Each structure stands twice: as C-alpha cells, then as structure tokens.
Amino acid sequence: MAAGNFKDKDMQSIIGWILRVGVIVSMTVVVFGGAVYLYRHGHSIPDYSAFNGVPQFVYPSNIISGILAFRGRAIIQAGIILLISTPVLRIIFSFIGFIIEKDRLYTFISLLVLLIIVASMLSGHAG
C-alpha cells in the first residue's frame, strides 16, 4: 500500500486489529498460565497465617527464566505485561500513521505521549 493510497480508515483498521489481537493473545497467555499454576499447585492448601510478598518475577530475566521453567506465575505475569503493552503498541502505530498522513499536530502529541510513557517506565514513577 503506497503512502498516497493510505487512508485514515486503513490506520483505524490496523489499530483495531492490534488491540483485538493484543487482548486475545494476552488473555490466552494468562489463562494458560493459570491452568499451569493450578495443575502444579491446585492441590496445595494456602497458608494465610504468614504474609508472602510479591513473587520473584520482578525483572524481565526472572520472568523469562520462570517461563522456561514452566512456572504458572511467570506465564501469568508475561500475559499481563502483554496486556499492558497493547495500548503502547497502539500509540506507536498511531504515531507512524500520523507521520504517513503528514499530520504534524497529532504526530507531536503521539510522540509526547510515548515519551511520557517511556520516562515513567524508566523512572519507576507513574505520574
């Protein structure tokens, strides 16, 4: 599809497809991780007398090693990360679409939103 033939409706279609696929894939990964977790730990009786904090899957390397070890919690967390990254992909593709459409205002706004998200991710602050 040439840039001259690219229309706003085409971009909306692509973005809608990205959002649908992102949600379906992340939901599938979370359900699969839940099934793995229940298969491995479904017989366990939880002990609520002691508080157990966040699992060790805080860093991407731990999540990847947890997935490779077939741990349900790591698979669930990967699905949640996929779900969170879906709207970010939408912003990236909107940014690309606005560049193709040569819409400077919305290109700038999309870039600003992306920069805010990246700065928040790197700083660890959400505001």
Rounded average pLDDT over 70-92: 92
Task: Count how many domains the chain has.
Answer: 1
Report yes or no on 49 lying in a domain.
no
Residue 31 lies in a domain: yes
Q: What is the pTM of this model?
A: 0.77
Amino acid at 10: D
pLDDT in tens, 29-50: 999 999 999 999 888 887 778 8
Q: What is the pLDDT of residue 57?
A: 62
Is 46 within a domain?
no
Expressed as residue numbers, the domain containing 14 is 8-41+55-123
Give the pLDDT score at 45. Answer: 82
Establish if 61 belongs to a structural domain. Answer: yes
Q: Tell me how far apart the alpha carbons of residues 103 and 64 are, in angstroms, rounded to a whole number.
A: 39
Residue 47 lies in a domain: no
Which one has a higher pLDDT value, 48 or 85? 85
